[in-house]
Amino acid sequence: MASLQNSPSVYHTLSPYSLPQVGGAQKNHGMLSFCRRGLSFLVRAEQSSPNSTSLSQVRFGRRELIAVSVIAPWVSMVNQTPPSFAAESKKGFLLVTDKKDGYSFLYPFGWQEVVIEGQDKVFKDVIEPLESISVNVIPTVKQDIRDFGPPQQVAETLIKKVLAPPSQKTKLIEAKEHGADGKIYYTFEFVAQAPNFTRHALSAIAIGNGKFYTLTTGANERRWEKMKDKLQMVIDSFEIFNV
């Protein structure tokens, strides 16, 4: 794991904690702009009231506009998704397939895609900022995730060196290996404690196509019991395929 340790660029690329937290919102030409620690992203909110900026008003707009802002893009995405992946869609989830990098996963209905520099794909709940999915893809010369070591060793290294800031106290809960369609995956569960919150997270990692894939999802500890089944569905749905 030496190639993944002590590298600021890798940390910035892989860390789900580089995602901004919703501390405030500003209307900007039909977009909601959220900022934290110098990073920013935009979430579409064209149908929001022109003078609406509070989180309670954003919540109302989001619930009312799900059918318009989410169903329409989903119809288009279904038409572009191979039948083998479309068949794996589940009620309450939408499917993402990246044909260029060779991976797919499900995310909860109603979450929004946001653009974060250094992240391959990010989806999050704009009301609950710690509820998110981040996917990262970096080149590797390794052929198998087991080349890095056993699941617990690899998970502990990633959590401490990559997936959580050094200032946070982390704990690995479980790490395991499974295979599917000739690919080996490591999945693990962990918590990361910051001064003002604790995030409960799940990650899945795999190697294929000369790339190291990391998908991480999670939620605030206070909402873990409510969200854990949905987040586990995200992890279980993650798969890589040859491109």
Q: What residue segments make up the domains of the chain, in order of their start?
A: 2-17+82-240
Q: Which residues pair with 97 in a beta bridge?
A: 104
As a whole number of angstroms, the distance between CA 121 and CA 135 comes to: 5
234 pLDDT more than 70? yes
72 pLDDT more than 90? no
Question: Thinking of the domain 2-17+82-240, which architecture would CATH place it in?
Answer: 3-Layer(aba) Sandwich (3.40)
- Measuring CA to CA, how many Å separate 174 from each of 56, 73, 110, 205? 36, 36, 29, 14
Long-range contacts: 4-13, Cβ < 8 Å, 24+? Answer: 4/157, 4/158, 4/161, 4/162, 5/157, 5/161, 5/162, 6/161, 10/138, 10/162, 11/161, 11/162, 12/118, 13/118, 13/119, 13/136, 13/138
- Measuring CA to CA, how many Å separate 68 from each of 62, 76, 234? 10, 13, 24
- Measuring CA to CA, how many Å separate 49 from each of 22, 25, 52, 67? 19, 14, 5, 17
Each residue's pLDDT tens digit, 32-43:
333 333 333 333
215 pLDDT more than 90? yes
167 pLDDT more than 90? yes
Provide the pLDDT for residue 89.
Answer: 61
As a whole number of angstroms, the distance between CA 190 and CA 129 comes to: 18
Give the range among 62-71, 84-93, 147-156, 173-182 with minimum mean pLDDT: 62-71
Average pLDDT over residues 150-179: 96
Residue of 170 and 11 predicted with greater confidence: 170
Provide the pLDDT for residue 90.
Answer: 81
